[in-house]
Structure 1
Amino acid sequence: MNVFILYTAGLLGQEPAKSIWDISSGQDLVLVMLALFLLVGMITVGVVALNLVFVLKKIIGPEPVAKPVDTRSWWQRMAGLHALNQEKDLMMEHAYDGIAELDNPTPPWFMGLFYGTIVFGVIYLLIFHVFGTGEIMIQEYTQEMAIADKQREEYIKKVAGSINENTVTQLKDAKGIDAGKAIFTQNCVACHGANAEGKVGPNLTDAYWLHGGNVKAVFHVITEGVPEKGMVSWKKQLNPLQVQQVASYILSLQGSNPAGAKEPQGEKEGMGQSVATR
């Protein structure tokens, strides 16, 4: 459809002017095509520009809203605390079954503690496992054992140092007897049996003794030993109080008559009657 643009003169009875769509030569066709391409290009550029603006707005998001002034105290900031009237500002968009979640960050004190443990771990690694300048466990153990030995010596001097072969007495209290039993079970059952019935060593539950059956004699035998009979000295392993305890436990077994007791050996205490040793 041809669109005609009439000039004023044409309206007055003169010949109408040519329409821009009246194509009478190849040059006119080229000009029309260029005009169409320019029009299509401008429309395309406009559509693309609008799309870019929309995408940029979506990426950038809404304009940031100025945050309210933080009026919390230093302790509230350190502990990550917020006032109840601020919960609406911390509330997150999603909710489950009517339960809203607040966007509360991890408290600063906790984060400081967490990062502090990382720093401590790095320092510990360097000192103990890279440079080896720290006191590792074996060194700590050696030091603690030295301290324990020193304390043991002081204890012996203070408490057990007053106990010797001449001053020792037989203990009767349950605590002392139980302590002696524990020592006997740990050190003496290999030779004398679990119930002191005698194995390699003599029976300690009857009235016959090779070296005396009172507390002083038993204390002496345990302390000094009887090397020719295979009885070792325990004075380096046991302090005088422990020797007193185990001697008292042995004497408490008199007359217990355990099963499988070894035959009597030595002299009957206080009777002067002797039995041949084997």
Structure 2
Amino acid sequence: MNSFILLNGGLLGQEPAKSIWDISSGQDLLLVTVALFLLVGMVAVGAVALNLVFLLKKIIEPDAQPVAKPADTRSWWQRMAGLHELNQEKNLTMEHAYDGIAELDNPTPPWFMGLFYGTIVAGVIYLLVYHVFNPGDIMVQEYTQEMAIADKQREDYIKKVAGSINENTVTVLKDAKGIDAGKALFTQNCVACHGANAEGKVGPNLTDAYWLHGGDVKAVFHIITEGVPEKGMMSWKKQLNPLQVQQVASYILSLQGTNPAGAKEPQGEKVATGEPVATR
């Protein structure tokens, strides 16, 4: 995971995570009190249950005398794994038998019990950390934080790349990725006025050689950026960054000479853009 970006004591675009100790209202105080009572109640119930188990055992076996067990000669590994030598089987046989079948007193291996109790401890710690005291981040919060970091990095990258593109330095993109990005932006923002294939509707036909305000990439970049308010063409510089404007302009120029069906009549003056006809 990326490292967290903190601004003003909190994650970018996020309010600082609220701890159980940040009591700012009566409702917060009530939640803290309930949580602490639940925690104390869980401990008390566990202690009572354990005490009842020992008491019940004494009631059931009041006269049970401890039986001396033979010395355990097993190695450390054998004890941890719960292994016994075959010659010790008679020492493990329990008193009761059914149909001549004896049962061995062979408890669960210590390593497994340690793992089992460890999961219980881990579960309690997880509950306290993520759902009571809240210093940790659950998956949804972590995902939101990582997305905020990624968005910030993306914005910084776009500013860095797009900052060098302006009306004087813009060039026509030739790569398919840039053209496809321009097509997506055109489809999203320009179809209503210029048509799905740039054949022209309210706005002019963008696929012929006739242009109202110039037909090279710099002129198209300028028109998209600044707009032509008197003709109903809005400025897109607040909606699109310079890189996106370059992509749209390059896509428009790639449509030169495609002659789509229902193309609007020519408007303006004929301009040689020098751009090849797109092969699609």
What is the TM-score when the length of structure 1 is the normalising length? 0.56
Structure 2 counterparts to residues 61-80 of structure 1, below 5 A:
64=67, 66=69, 68=72, 71-73=75-77, 77=80
| SS of 2:186 mapped into structure 1 | helix
Whether contact under 8 Å (1:215, 1:251) holds in the other structure is yes
Task: Give, in angstroms, the shift of residue 149 of structure 1.
Answer: 5.9
Task: Give, in angstroms, the shift of residue 110 of structure 1.
Answer: 4.5
User: Residues of 1 paired with 2:153 and 2:195: CA distance?
Assistant: 33
Partner of 2:171: 169
Structure 2 counterparts to residues 59-208 of structure 1, below 5 A:
64=67, 66=69, 68=72, 71-73=75-77, 77=80, 81-83=81-83, 85=85, 104=108, 106-127=112-133, 141=144, 145=148, 147=149, 150-208=152-210
| SS of 1:200 mapped into structure 2 | coil
User: Residues of 2 paired with 1:242 and 1:232: CA distance?
Assistant: 16
Greater Cα radius of gyration, structure 1 or 2 = 1
User: Residues of 2 paired with 1:151 and 1:192: CA distance?
Assistant: 34
User: Residues of 2 paired with 1:117 and 1:161: CA distance?
Assistant: 50
Q: 1:82 to 1:170 in 2, by over 3 A?
A: same
Are positions 1:249 and 2:255 aligned together? no
Greater RCO, 1 or 2 (C-alpha within 8 Å, sep 6+)? 2
Task: Give, in angstroms, the shift of residue 197 of structure 1.
Answer: 1.9
Q: 1:120 to 1:196 in 2, by over 3 A?
A: same
Whether contact under 8 Å (2:129, 2:136) holds in the other structure is no
Partner of 2:213: 211
Whether contact under 8 Å (2:225, 2:235) holds in the other structure is yes
User: Residues of 1 paired with 2:199 and 2:67: CA distance?
Assistant: 93
Partner of 2:261: 259
Q: 1:186 to 1:58 in 2, by over 3 A?
A: same
Whether contact under 8 Å (1:90, 1:104) holds in the other structure is no
Partner of 2:238: 236
Q: 1:240 to 1:64 in 2, by over 3 A?
A: farther
Q: 1:119 to 1:142 in 2, by over 3 A?
A: closer
User: Residues of 1 paired with 2:60 and 2:218: CA distance?
Assistant: 102
Unaligned runs of 5+ in 2: 1-58, 99-105, 274-280
User: Residues of 2 paired with 1:257 and 1:155: CA distance?
Assistant: 37
Partner of 1:3: none
User: Residues of 2 paired with 1:206 and 1:247: CA distance?
Assistant: 14
User: Residues of 2 paired with 1:252 and 1:90: CA distance?
Assistant: 87
Whether contact under 8 Å (1:90, 1:103) holds in the other structure is no
Query: Share of identical aligned residues, percent?
Result: 62
User: Residues of 2 paired with 1:57 and 1:135: CA distance?
Assistant: 48
Alignment: residue pair count: 201
The code of the aligned residue for 1:120 comes to: Y
> Structure 1, residues 190-234: CA drift from partner, whole Å, max 9, x if none?
322222222332221121222111100111111112222222222
Which piece of structure 1 moves more, 261-270 or 172-181?
261-270
User: Residues of 1 paired with 2:133 and 2:60: CA distance?
Assistant: 54
User: Residues of 2 paired with 1:181 and 1:90: CA distance?
Assistant: 79
Task: Give, in angstroms, the shift of residue 118 of structure 1.
Answer: 3.1
| SS of 1:104 mapped into structure 2 | coil
| SS of 2:225 mapped into structure 1 | helix
The code of the aligned residue for 1:122 comes to: L
